[in-house]
Amino acid sequence: MAALTNDPFTLARFAGLYKAVQSAGAAGSFGMDATGTPYLNEHLASWSMMLVSFPLAGVVIYTIKETNYDIEHVDYADAIKKDAENPQQPSPGSTEKVASE
């Protein structure tokens, strides 16, 4: 999941989406058990969802890059705070370049 982005806030949203889909699947499974659905129908439903998800997973696998550090720019709160306190000298974690004098 970390290969999708370097931004921690976006990763948190992806993790939330993953957990939501996982919980919805568990709720559907428990709902089918509670209504007395035959086991063969439960088995076919789970396999059909898996077969539908394989092409979607393939799209993700083939479009993901190894890294995107060169594309994305991530600002860290500590570096921004230090830069605001001392605008002449950027902090070590900052991405700003100091103009040579």
Q: Which pLDDT value is given to residue 87?
A: 66
Cα separation of 83 and 7, whole Å? Answer: 20
101 band by pLDDT with thresholds 50, 70 and 90? very low
Which pTM does this prediction carry?
0.55
Q: Which pLDDT value is given to residue 7?
A: 76
Nearest Cα residue to 97 out of 84, 85, 83: 83
- Interhelix angle 39-63/8-34, nearest 10 degrees: 170
| pLDDT tens, residue by residue, 2-38 | 777 777 888 889 899 999 999 998 999 899 989 988 9
Cα separation of 55 and 29, whole Å? Answer: 22
**The residue count for the chain:** 101
Cα separation of 1 and 101, whole Å? Answer: 43
